[in-house]
Structure 1
Amino acid sequence: DQQDQLYRSNQVDRLDQEDQVDPSYRQSHCYREDQGGPDLPGTPGRPDFPGGPLAPVPFGPRGPSGPLGPIFPGGPLDPGVPGSPS
């Protein structure tokens, strides 16, 4: 129990001594957090897939009919059958 007490007081003394250490000494002798190396470059992405062929465009609705053409002149009149004398 006495030894335990001694050990504890020793610890306290040691802590006090550490506080008196020059901060610059402490900085140079303490482990500094390791700074990681540079980031590794990422792997290049996969190339874009080429698009498929375009779908054929469906035909649009049928347009309106054009105007009627000119009227053809009729042919010569057929001479009738000569009538019988009355």
Structure 2
Amino acid sequence: MKMLRRWNYDEQVYEPYEVPDDWNVKSYSEDMDEIVNCPHCGRKVTFGSCYTSKKIHTAGGFGYAVCGECYATERIKEEEWRKKQR
């Protein structure tokens, strides 16, 4: 398993997040047509059609490429957390 880092809004810390070794997860690619796996759902998508994750990051803090559906879910969860903080 590959170990990534997933941000926990409530605790304000990164938690370990595993994805299968055979998944191609990326935070950067020079080839926008490269097929990558969404680190949330595993769906195969082109890198160029992905969004930058708000939750799953590299050690340097860069977001991994996620599919549109999972990005929308991330946005909803972040908005819910922000509303609780007000």
- Give the TM-score band, short-chain normalised: under 0.3
TM-score (norm 1): 0.19
TM-score (norm 2): 0.19
- Bigger Rg, which one: 1
Structure that is richer in strand per residue: 2
Structure that is richer in helix per residue: 1
